[in-house]
Amino acid sequence: MKIFEYLFMFLVFPGFIFSSTIGLLAGWVDRKLTARVQWRVGPPWYQNFVDVIKLLFYKETLIPVNVSKPIFLGMPLLSLASATIVSTILLVISRFPQAGFLGDLIVVIYLLMIPAIALMLGAFASENPLASLGASREMKLMLAYELPFIISVLVPVIKCGYAIKVGDIITYQSLHGHIIAGASGVISFIVMLLCVQAKLGFAPFDMPEAETEIMAGSYIEYSGKALGVFKLSKAILLFVLPVLMIILYFGGIGFDVETFIKNVAGYLAILAAIVVIKNTNPRVRIDQAVRFFWGPVTALAIISAVLAYFGY
Amino acid sequence: MGLKEKILTKSLYVFHLSSGSCNNCDIEILDCLTPRYDLERFGIVLVGSVKHADALLCTGSTNRLCVPRIKKLYEMMPKPGFVIAWGACGSSRGVFKDSYNTGSPLDEIIPVDLYIPGCPPKPEAVIAGVKKLLDKVNAVKKK
Ligand code: SF4
């Protein structure tokens, strides 16, 4: 019966259905806020659901000639599956901190990389020159932001006594106060916010899918179901990445009323910060992004790790 | 109206195809997305790739070089998809009717679902036109 329990966790709650619903709602918050910033009205709340259902059920899926079908169609599924696993792991562990295994934080970091890699492989498989251009930008961007991202994850790890279990980090914070309270916490939180911005592919780091230069970039050959699945996995990432930040810096998701309200407020605040950054910054060139992430951002991350080592 | 029609009419991704317009129509399309008209509130967005599109928005006088490309793009659009002929040029070649380089009007090349007249059409005309298109989708269902 264990297997049914796991399947339920993965597919319904807190896995696929739950996290994609929240993710699509968060996507609406993004679109609505963007519209309000631009002094428009914006779409109704169900818009993203309608878009995804339309793509998944009512549109034709075109497959270009000569592409490798398993890669072209498998990559969206791989991306969706890894995003879903991350959300399942994180939410289950914040409910039962002892449910994790040694090194699950590392697994989470790896799994969070997979959607970008899947998108890249799918784009290369589609044999479209613009898609290849988008994918090569995606690759460079990934090399750029992974380094500061991993260093900034080190800060909670160091502060919690070298714990690489998500559960230990949560337990430590409930006993000794939140990571964000220290100087190192604040600095690495800012670093991680920037990396999350790039991981989500939002402006100013949206050059892999720059609409004005390379059309839809990596997504250009995708249509119908495959595109819908990619959109879903993006929506889940929009839910999961802020949740990871809440777990690492604000002591995890609480399930009593007071912490739950605090968590929702924290989530909305992080989301709003991301959307405002997205709307107030123009797209940078890829070389500028790499220089930005490997220069000042990595320096900040290292400073915060050193501060954490000395206990600040 | 069934669920399918509801979904298809609530979310319309538009691909903009310019086949030799005087650029005025293209500017007018952007007007529809500005704060004053804001077509995104009806779920209408411009997309960059024709493979994401639900509607092909054709402006311009369909000159000879563009004809094969229009056909190709129409075939690349995932079905069900609509074709919108935008402006006097898109509907009937407009003032360029007797020019040496205009081939045939758009509706002799690909099937057109909606004509939006004007030179260029006003955004209000666009909203009225989209309303007609949605009615047409629902009428197909009733038949
Ligand atoms: S319809 Fe008028 S405005 Fe539009 S492309 Fe033709 S001439 Fe230009």
Residues in chain B with CB shorter than 8 Å from the CB of A222 are: 51-52
Q: Which residues contact A85 (CB under 8 A, 6 or more apart)?
A: A10, A15, A111
- The answer to whether the Cα torsion of A41, A46, A49, A50 is positive or negative is negative
Centre of ligand 1 from the C-alpha of residue B15, in Å: 18
DSSP-derived 3-state class of residue B63: strand
Residues of B in contact with A41 (CB under 8 A): 38, 40-41
Please give the structure tokens belonging to residue A200: 């989500």
Q: Which atom of ligand 1 is nearest to the CA of B24?
A: 3
What is the Cα–Cα distance from A31 to A264, expressed in whole angstroms? Answer: 19
Residue whose pair of structure tokens reads 């998944």 in the numeric block: A56
Question: In residues, how long is chain B?
Answer: 143
Q: Taking phi first (over 0 means left), then psi (-120 to 50 degrees means alpha), and beta for anything else, what does residue A127 get? A: left
Q: Which atom of ligand 1 is nearest to the CA of B25?
A: 4
Among residues A80, A221, A198, A227, which one has the least CA distance to residue A140? A198
Could you tell me if A211 lies within 8 Å of chain B, comparing CB atoms? yes
> Could A50 and B11 be called an inter-chain contact, meaning their C-beta atoms sit closer than 8 Å?
yes
Output the tens digit of pLDDT for each of chain A's 312 residues.
677 777 777 777 777 888 888 889 988 998 898 888 888 888 888 888 888 888 888 888 888 888 888 888 888 899 999 999 888 888 888 777 777 778 788 888 899 999 989 988 888 888 888 888 888 888 888 888 989 999 888 888 888 888 888 888 888 887 777 877 778 888 888 999 999 988 888 878 877 776 666 677 778 888 888 888 988 998 999 898 988 888 888 877 777 788 788 888 888 998 999 988 888 888 888 888 889 889 899 999 999 888 888 877
Question: For residue range A222-251, what is the model confidence (pLDDT) as tens digits?
Answer: 888 888 898 899 899 989 898 888 888 887
What single letter denotes the amino acid at residue A190? I
Task: Give the separation between CA B101 and CA B34, rounded to whole angstroms.
Answer: 34
Encoded tokens for A238: 């929009």
Q: How many CB pairs under 8 A join A and B?
A: 76
Atom of ligand 1 nearest to the CA of B95: 7
* Percentage of the residues of chain B whose pLDDT score is greater than 70: 96
What is the interface pTM, i.e. ipTM, of the complex?
0.81
Q: Left (φ > 0), alpha (ψ -120 to 50) or beta: where does A160 sit? A: alpha
Query: How remote is the CA of residue B54 from the centroid of ligand 1, in Å?
Result: 23
pLDDT above 60 (res B143): no
Residue B27 has pLDDT above 80, yes or no: yes
pTM: 0.87
Q: A22-78, pLDDT tens digit by residue?
A: 889 988 998 898 888 888 888 888 888 888 888 888 888 888 888 888 888 888 899
